[in-house]
Amino acid sequence: MLFGKKTTYVSEITQFIDELKTKNPKLEESQRAGRALLWDKEPLDLDKTARDKASRVAQQPYVYQSH
């Protein structure tokens, strides 16, 4: 009976991710550790950033043009 059952659709991708998480329970923890390693850095030093920006030499519009 189609109308009697209430089923929810779960995509293949969601099923795959759920299965992956059950096989490796520490997956999310290792993902967070990887993110912290690459992305979560200390706050920017605004004075250093301003000094770096001010000390840059402007590039010519056409790099290979001689003076």
Per-residue tens of pLDDT for the chain, all 67 residues: 556 677 889 999 999 999 999 999 999 999 999 888 887 777 888 999 999 999 998 888 887 877 6
State the Cα torsion 11-14-16-33 to the nearest 10°.
160
- The alpha carbon of 24 is separated from its chain's Cα centroid by a whole number of angstroms, namely 21
> What is d(CA 49, CA 6) in angstroms, rounded to the nearest whole number?
57
Per the document, the length of the chain is 67
